[in-house]
Amino acid sequence: MRVRLFYKIFALALFSVVVSISVMLLTVGYFGYFNFQDYLVKSKIHELSWLTDKLGEYYKENGSFEAIRLSAEERMPFSEPLGMKPFGKGDGGNRRPDMFPGGVADGRIRPLKEKDYEPFGRLKEDMLTADGKLNVMAFVHFRHFIMLQDADKKIVIGVGNVNEFHFISIISDGATVGYLGIRKPPKMTQPMAAEFVREQVEITLVSAVIIIAITGLLTWFFTKRLLAPVPPLIIATRKLASRDFSVEIRDMSNDELGDLAANFRKMAYDLSMYEQKQNRWISDISHELRTPLSVLLGNIEAMQDGVRNINSDSLNILHVEVSRLIKLVNELHEMTMVDSDNMRFSFGSVQICRIAEDAVELYRSRAEEFGFQIRTMIHNGETKVRGDVYRLRQVFINLIENALRHSKSPGVIFISCSEQNGSVLVTVEDTGPGVPEKSLGMLFDRLYRADISRSRETGGSGLGLAICKYIVEKHNGTIRAVCGSMGGLRIEIELPAEGENE
């Protein structure tokens, strides 16, 4: 089943909110419960600050808590030794009737009732005598709720495990003389406390429902706005797949989706330009192939009909046209290697200026035949570059042929090679007519021709300079076209010297 991206993002955002709120609820419930228990203990500790003060005064007057311990041993049931948990129901038979005074001050005796286990309900009333003194005998009555330890943490009075009590220090004259233990509430059994926690959970639940509802609406709204650029991109992609490059996508956001839309527009434009170049290239290649083939066919038919004699002149014409076809096919083959980045190189230490000089000598006689003079200013030093001799010679031959092909005769072709600032600069310049300045940046694009008709007449395929650029860049160099000082075009190649290239 196909699920739209909108619903996926919306569900993910909403799920994250629900999980977060659920974790918050569990955290609030859990820590709220225990924090409230701690709050009850701390509140009782605060309430019993008077008792620690009274115990400190008692210790100062008597020097110990021994009297309290002896009183406890005398009055506590035999079944409840110090530090042990009390018996449950059925232990009343072991109790003496004077063990549980309900109101020690008035001397009346009554058994403990359930309400007396409500911690500290009658503590201050029973612990203090009428004149505000500490009534040590009352400790027996509250032995389940408070525990008294001496300075060595030995139990003076109290029933239960020490881990069930929270202890606070008893101070006398700046020294700790004992510890007063207050029993921790085992569970939240008090109706008021339980009601408090229940109300807090209900409030949190209602708040969570409201938050989820508001978050859902906001998530829906912002998700739709976030994904607003996506539908136009889908439509544009379908048009692009059908080779319709006239797609238009307006800027809808200033984020990654906006960048995606901008890059998509650029891709559509580049594909459109590429298709135009490809169509022009097919037209140019068709023309380049048609011209020599037509010449070959015409001459061969003329020889077959006896109109033209088979001699050296007619064979030379056929040879020129075949050579032109071979050159074009070779350039097409090299262009495919450039596209696939599979052109082979054999790098070594080479003298770049000597390679340029060899290429000049190869074309000097041919240039003179067409009315051109080749002038050179080649550095005679031993400057070397890391390069492929065959490929560098191919670059210089292409540039010299390009200058001969596109310059008016008579003319001059000037070639220089010199070292400067750790690199080698090679230039090839002609006397014109040159190239319009607006076309200089596109000369190295494959299939580009500044003057289409003249290029066809002179046999250019529009691939030579693109191949030259690829070879130079593989040598970590740069190649550029500028307007020359002699009125024509100057091609500049800069390659790093061998020491710099390493």
Domain of residue 409, CATH code: 3.30.565.10
Residue 53 inside a domain? The answer is yes
Residue-wise pLDDT tens digits, 297-308? 888 888 888 888
In this structure, the answer to whether residues 347 and 495 fall within a common structural domain is yes
Structural contact between residues 215 and 222, judged by C-beta atoms closer than 8 angstroms? no
Cβ neighbours, 10 Å, residue 472: 22
pLDDT of residue 42: 73
Are 427 and 399 within one domain? yes
Report the phi/psi class of residue 482: left, alpha or beta, with left for phi > 0 and alpha for psi in -120 to 50. beta
Residues 355 and 497 in one domain: yes
- 55 and 178 fall within a common domain: yes
Is the same domain home to 282 and 350?
Answer: no
Does 468 have pLDDT greater than 70? Answer: yes
Q: Has residue 245 been placed in a domain?
A: no
Q: Measure the CA dihedral 103/106/107/109, to 10°.
A: -40
Are residues 496 and 389 part of one domain? Answer: yes
Asked, for residue 280, whether it belongs to a domain, the answer is: yes
Q: What's the pLDDT at 241?
A: 81
- Give yes or no for residue 440 having a pLDDT over 50: yes
Which pLDDT value is given to residue 100?
Answer: 34
Same domain, 366 and 332: no
Residue 1 pLDDT: 57
Q: Is residue 465 part of a domain?
A: yes
DSSP codes, 413-470:
EEEEEEEETTEEEEEEEE-S----GGGGGGTTSTT--SSHHHHHHHT--S-HHHHHHH
The pLDDT value given to residue 274? 81
Together in a domain, 384 and 485: yes
Is residue 251 domain-resident?
A: no
Residue 454 reports pLDDT greater than 60 = no
The answer, yes or no, to whether residue 337 has pLDDT greater than 90, is no
Confidence of residue 84 (pLDDT cuts 50, 70, 90): very low
Residues 221 and 286 in one domain: no
pLDDT reported for residue 186: 58
Is there a domain that residue 233 lies in?
A: no
When pLDDT is averaged across residues 481-488 and rounded to a whole number, the result is 88
Q: Which residue has the higher pLDDT, 456 or 153?
A: 153
Q: Are residues 349 and 484 in the same domain?
A: yes
Boundary of a domain, candidates 338, 360, 382: 338
Which one of 298, 317, 338 terminates a domain? 338
- Count Cβ neighbours within 10 Å for each residue of 207-232 and write b for 16 or more, e otherwise: ebeeebeebeeebeeebeeeeebbeb
Q: What is the mean pLDDT of residues 51-61?
A: 87
Same domain, 90 and 205: no
pLDDT at 427 over 90: yes
Segment among 68-77, 111-120, 265-274, 489-498 with least mean pLDDT: 111-120
> Does residue 374 have a pLDDT over 80?
yes
**SS3 letters across 172-220:** ECCEEEEEEEEECCCCCCCHHHHHHHHHHHHHHHHHHHHHHHHHHHHHH
Q: Choose one of 307, 338, 369: the last residue of a domain.
A: 338
Q: What is the CATH number of the domain that holds 291?
A: 1.10.287.130
Q: Which of 86-90, 196-200, 424-428, 467-471 has the lowest mean pLDDT?
A: 86-90
Parent domain of 25: 5-39+192-226
Per the structure, the count of domains in the chain is 4
Considering the chain, what percentage of its residues have pLDDT values greater than 70?
78
Lowest mean pLDDT among 32-41, 109-118, 130-139, 378-387: 109-118
- Cα dihedral 132/136/141/146 (nearest 10): 90
The dihedral region occupied by 198, where left means phi > 0, alpha psi between -120 and 50, and beta the remainder, is alpha
Is residue 243 in a domain? no
Task: Find how far residue 431's CA is from the centre of its chain.
Answer: 55
State which H helix or E strand residue 368 sits in.
helix 352-369
Residue 249 lies in a domain: no
Residue type (1 letter), 269: Y
Nearest-angstrom CA–CA distance, 228 and 487: 55
Q: How confident is the model at residue 381 (pLDDT cuts 50, 70, 90)?
A: low
Least confident segment among 30-34, 172-176, 197-201, 367-371: 30-34
Asked if 150 and 216 sit in the same domain, the reply is no
Lowest mean pLDDT among 178-192, 203-217, 300-314: 178-192
pLDDT at 83: 43
